[in-house]
Chains A and B, each alone.
Chain A
Amino acid sequence: MNILALILLMLGAGAVAGLSEKFHPAAPKWISLATFIVTLAWVVAFIVGDGYANQHIAWIPRFGINIVLSMDGLSQLLVALTLFLGIVAVVSSWTEIERRPGFFQFNILWVMAGVVGVFTALDLFLFFFFWEVMLIPMYFLIAIWGHEDKAYASMKFFLFTQISGLLMLFAILALVYLHYSATGVITFNYYDLLDADLGGDIAFYVMLGFFAAFVVKLPGVPFHTWLPDAHTQAPTAGSVILAGILLKTGAYGLIRFVVPLFPEASADFAVWAMFLGALSILYGGFMAYSQSDFKRLVAYSSVAHMGFVLLGVFAFHEVAGSLVVNELAVQGAVVTMVAHGFSTAALFMMAGALQERLHTREMSNMGGLWTRAPRMGAVTMFFVVASVGMPGLGNFVGEFLVLVGAFKANIPLTVAGALGVVVAAVYGLCLMQRSFQGTPNADVPSMRDFGLREMGVMVLMMAGLVWIGIHPQELLDLSAPVVQTLWVVLP
Chain B
Amino acid sequence: MTGPALTALAPYIVLAGGTTLMLLAVSFVRRGPVTLGMTLAILLGTLGSIGFAAGAGTQHLDRFLLVDGYAHFFTALFVLAAVATAVLTHGYVDRRAAQREEFHILLLTATLGAMTMAAAAHFGAFLLGMEILSISLYAMIAYPDRGRAPLEASIKYLVLSGVASTTILFGMALVYGETGTMAFAQALGSDGSVLLRVGQGMILAGLAFKLSLVPFHMWTPDVYQGAPAPVTGFVATVSKGAVAALLLRYVATTDVLSLESLFFGLSLIAVVSMVAGNVLALLQDNLKRLLAYSSIAHMGYLLIAVLAVASAAGPEMAAETGMVYLVGYFAMTLAAFGVMTVLSADEDVEDLADYEGLFWRRPLLAAVLAAAALSLAGIPLTVGFIAKFYLFAAGVQGSLWLLVWALVIGSAIGVYYYLRIVFSMTRQMETDDESAPSWWGPATVAVLGAAIVVMGVYPTPLIDAAREAIRAFGG
Q: Which residues of A contact B (CB under 8 A)?
A: 59-63, 99-100, 103, 128-129, 132-133, 135-136, 139-140, 143-144, 151, 154-155, 158-159, 162-163, 166-167, 169-170, 173-174, 177
Given A62-B460, A155-B423, A174-B396, is A162 in contact with B415 using a C-beta cutoff of 8 Å? yes
* Distance A140 CA – B374 CA, assembled complex (angstroms): 13
CB within 8 Å for A159 and B416 given contacts A151-B423, A170-B408: yes
Cβ-defined partner of A143 (8 Å) among B385, B397, B426, B458:
B426
The reply to whether B379 and A132 contact each other, CB–CB distance below 8 Å, is yes
A100 touches B360 (CB 8 A): yes
Chain B residue numbers with a CB within 8 Å of A159 are 412, 415-416
Set of chain A residues within 8 Å of B392, measured between Cβ atoms = 169-170, 173
Contact flags (1/0) for B414-456 with A, using CB distance below 8 Å?
A: 0110010011001001000000000000000000000000000
A199 shortest CB reach to chain B, Å: 15
**Which of A59, A100, A154, A158 is within 8 Å of B429, CB to CB?**
A100
In the bound complex, residues from chain B placing their C-beta under 8 Å from that of A99 are 429
Enumerate chain A residues within 8 angstroms of B459, measured Cβ to Cβ. Answer: 60
How near does chain A come to B275, taking the closest CB pair, in angstroms? 15
Contacting residues of chain B (291-324) with chain A, CB-CB under 8 angstroms: none
Whether B404 is near chain A, meaning CB under 8 Å from some CB there, is yes
- Interface readout for B395-420 with A: 1 if CB under 8 Å, 0 if not? 01100000010001001100110010
Q: Is the CB of B396 within 8 A of A173?
A: yes
The 3 closest A-B pairs by CB, nearest first: A132-B380, A163-B412, A129-B380
Chain B residues whose C-beta falls within 8 Å of the C-beta of A155 in the assembled complex: 416, 419, 423
- The CA-CA distance from A53 to B385 in the complex, in Å, is 29
- CB <8 Å contact, A144 and B397: no
Main secondary structure on chain B at its contact with chain A? Answer: helix
Partner of B396, one of A60, A133, A151, A177: A177
- Residues of A within 8 Å of B396, CB to CB, are 173-174, 177
Name the prevailing secondary structure of the A interface residues.
Answer: helix
B13 interface residue, CB < 8 Å from A? no
Separation of A140 and B359 alpha carbons in the complex (Å): 12
In the docked arrangement, what's the CA distance between A61 and B461, Å? 11
CB neighbours (8 Å) of B419 from chain A are 139, 155, 158
**Distance of A163 Cα from B423 Cα, bound (Å):** 18
Q: How many A-B residue pairs have CB under 8 A?
A: 66
Beyond the given A103-B359, A158-B419, please list 20 additional residue pairs across the A-B interface where CB-CB is below 8 A.
A60-B460, A62-B460, A62-B463, A62-B467, A100-B360, A128-B380, A129-B380, A132-B381, A132-B385, A133-B381, A136-B374, A136-B381, A143-B422, A155-B416, A155-B423, A159-B412, A162-B412, A166-B408, A170-B404, A177-B397
Cβ contacts under 8 Å, B426 to chain A: 140, 143-144
Chain B residues with CB under 8 A of A135: 379
Does B155 reach chain A (CB closer than 8 Å)?
no
How far, in whole Å, are A133 and B359 apart by their CA atoms in the complex? 20
Q: CB-nearest residue of chain B relative to A130?
A: B380
A144 touching B415 in the complex, CB below 8 Å, given contacts A170-B408, A173-B396, A174-B396: no
| Any A CB within 8 A of the CB of B393 | yes
The interface residues of chain A lying within 8 Å CB-to-CB of B359 are 103
Residue-by-residue, is B364-402 near A (CB-CB < 8 Å gives 1, otherwise 0)?
000000000010000111000100010011001100000
Give the docked Cα–Cα distance between A38 and B159 (Å): 66
Task: Return chain A residues, CB-CB under 8 Å to B404.
Answer: 170
Chain B residues contacting A173 (CB-CB under 8 Å) are 392-393, 396
State in angstroms the CA–CA spacing of A299 and B230 once bound together. Answer: 47
How far apart sit A336 and B358, CA to CA, in the bound complex (Å)? 43
With A60-B463, A158-B415, A166-B411 as known contacts, state yes or no: A143 contacts B374, CB within 8 Å.
Answer: no
Closest CB of chain B to A429's CB: distance in Å?
A: 39
A103 and B426 alpha carbons, distance in the complex (Å): 11
CB-CB under 8 A from A177, the residues of chain B are 393, 396-397
A136 with B423: CB separation less than 8 A: no
Residues of B within 8 A of A132 (CB): 379-381, 385
A151 to B422, CA, bound (A): 11
Bound CA–CA A213/B396 (angstroms) = 20
Nearest A residue to B424 via CB reads A151
